[in-house]
Amino acid sequence: MTILGLTGDEAVAYAVKQGKVDIVAAYPITPQTIMVERFSKYVADGEVHTGYVCVESEHSALSACVGASLTGARVFTATASQGLALMHEMLYIASGLRCPIVMGVANRALSAPINIHGDHSDMMGSRDSGWVQIYAENAQESYDWTLMAFKIAEDESVQLPVSVNLDGFIISHCMEGVDVLEDSVVDEFLQSRKPLFTVDPEKPITVGALCFTDYYFEFKRQQVEAMLNVRGVLDKVCKEYRGIACRDYGVLETFGMEDAEAAVICLGSTAGTAREVARRLRAQGKKVGVVKLWLYRPFPTDEVRAALRHVKALAVFDRAISFGAPYGALCSDVVSALHTLEESPQIFNVVYGLGGRDIQPSDIELVFNEALETAKTGIVKEPTMFLGVRD
């Protein structure tokens, strides 16, 4: 076993290095930059064969990635916040052209006002772009998921881009002990990409043709199918990964849900804090639990329903605002997943941590207590709680 002291960004870069990626095209943006800084050092030191394309914008980063991916190459990029927003047009094209690109996203708030710290506004604004979205809780998960992401993206039945999300600064910049695999083990797990179609001059194809009313819809329907296929592929990949890394992954992770009456569901690093608070409350006899989603797109509806079926009250944590919507993005999805249950839990939304505002154990304890109260009374006092904001 090899334990390296790595930040989340460095852990991603290390996984990309072991993944024998052909092309990395990226543009610097805080808090992602360390990923590509570390990676460009691997290139400079001749540790990888990768072509590092130092593009002049994130739009060109993803454009170059799409071009590279069409040749059959394995491709990685990384971004955050404004950079992801600038890529927005290309996100849809990458998925529409079925390019299995992997992207590390160090999630960061969107301007204005400008802010460099972590929240999920960037990726939530891209949630319908046809990318598979995975959220890591810490540096270890960032490393593990980056390796698995290539395998999921490149699977014959998927052929879709995958984003591995890590909370800006909280994960991207915090150093942890990361258990890394041996190169030879990664080689065995992650073999060369086997593309279905490429722009090979020996077998010419036309990519990105104009599709009118007579074909466009069918292409989009195929993307829906590919997204559905992610589920089975992800399970298979996680199982294989368990065999080499002895770490368990899946679409979600639960804590205390076997008997919880009140629960929280969240993404990313907040899950670790929530679990610790839940552990303490459960020791006091309070029946609380935590559901952490690893997979956000495609949304694991069945597993979310199964995990939350028996709770009486549920707080859904959104680290982003969906202005004018009934709930934040995650909460809307959870409500959609649960609304056909015979007895859906009472649900309220917790919007928190915007612009990197810290979330303390005491904040989460407050939410658990509110959820327990809701479980007892059956009444939601406030559909959306803005946790930690000064009104």
Partner 1 sequence: MVTLKELPIEELFASGHRLCAGCGEGIINRMTMKALRGPTIIVAATGCSEVATTIYPYTSWRLPWAHVAFENAAAVASGIVEAYRAMARRGAWSRHVDVIAMAGDGGTYDIGIQALSGALERGHDFLYICYDNEAYMNTGIQRSGATPHGADTTTSPAGSVIPGKPEWKKDLIGICAAHGIEYAATASPAYWNDYITKVRKGIEVNGPAVIDVLSPCPLGWRHDSARSIELVRLAVETRYYPVYEFERGKYKLNLNISKPKPVEEFLKLQGRFGHLFKPTYRKDVIDEIQQNVDANWNRILKLCAQN
| Residue 166 CB, nearest approach to partner 1 (Å) | 25
Read off the DSSP letter of residue 109. Answer: P
Chain mean position to CA 95: 16
- Which of 32, 296, 278, 17 is CA-nearest to residue 143? 17
Smaller CB separation from partner 1, 130 or 298: 130
Tell me the closest approach of the beta carbon of residue 196 to partner 1, in angstroms.
15
Site string for partner 1, 204-243 (x = CB under 8 A): xxxxxxxxx--x----------------------------
Amino acid at 117: H
Pairing of strands 295-297, 132-135: antiparallel
Among 32, 63, 115, 163, binds partner 1 (CB under 8 A): 63
Taking the C-alpha atoms of residue 295 and residue 280, their distance in angstroms, rounded to an integer, is: 26
Choose between 89 and 225: whose C-beta lies nearer to partner 1. 89
Size of the site for partner 1 (CB under 8 A): 46
- Which class for 213: exposed (0-12), middle (13-18), buried (19 or more C-beta within 10 A)? exposed
Pick the binder of partner 1 from 29, 36, 64, 295 (CB under 8 A): 64
Exposed e or buried b per residue across 22-51, where buried means at least 16 C-beta atoms within 10 angstroms of its C-beta = bbbbbbbbbbbbbbbebbbebbeeeebebe
What are the backbone dihedrals phi and psi of residue 219, each rounded to the nearest 5 degrees, phi first?
-60, -40
Binding status of residue 323 toward partner 1 by CB under 8 A: no
Instruction: Specify the 3-state DSSP secondary structure of 1.
Output: coil
Considering only residues 84 to 113 of the shown chain, the ones binding partner 1 according to CB under 8 A are 89-90, 93, 97
Taking the C-alpha atoms of residue 123 and residue 56, their distance in angstroms, rounded to an integer, is 22
Q: Is 79 in the site for partner 1 (CB under 8 A)?
A: no
Query: Minimal distance in Å, beta carbon 66 to partner 1?
Result: 5
Nearer to partner 1, 61 or 152 (CB): 61
Stretch that binds partner 1, among 133-141, 203-211, 299-307, 378-386 (CB under 8 A): 203-211
Asked if 23 touches partner 1 (CB under 8 A), the answer is yes
Q: Distance of CA 261 to CAs 335, 368, 371, Å?
A: 17, 10, 9
> Residue 253 has which token pair?
């992770």
Window 170 to 199, contacts with partner 1 (CB under 8 A) = 192, 199
| Contact between 51 and partner 1 per CB under 8 A | yes
Q: Which neighbouring-strand residues pair with 103?
A: 77, 163
| Under 8 Å between Cβ of 209 and 72 | no
Among 6, 13, 66, 102, binds partner 1 (CB under 8 A): 66
Residue type, 98: R
Nearer to partner 1, 72 or 250 (CB): 72
- Cβ-based nearer residue to partner 1, 73 or 170: 73
Exposed (0-12), middle (13-18) or buried (19+): which is 52, by Cβ within 10 Å? Answer: middle
In angstroms, give the least distance from the CB of 330 to partner 1. 30
Indicate whether 49 belongs to the interface with partner 1 (CB under 8 A): yes
Shortest distance, position 156 Cβ to partner 1, whole Å: 18
Among 25, 311, 320, 347, binds partner 1 (CB under 8 A): 25
Of the listed pieces 61-69, 144-152, 336-344, 380-388, which binds partner 1 according to CB under 8 A? Answer: 61-69
Distance CA 177, CA 143 (A): 11
Give the three-state DSSP class for 90: helix
C-beta closer to partner 1: residue 89 or 182: 89
Residue 70 sits in the site that holds partner 1 (CB under 8 A): yes
Closer Cβ to partner 1, 58 or 370, answer by number: 58
Q: Is 179 helix (H, G, I), strand (E, B) or coil?
A: strand
Where on the chain is the footprint of partner 1 (CB under 8 A)? 20, 22-23, 25, 49-51, 53-57, 59-61, 63-73, 75, 89-90, 93, 97, 192, 199-202, 204-212, 215
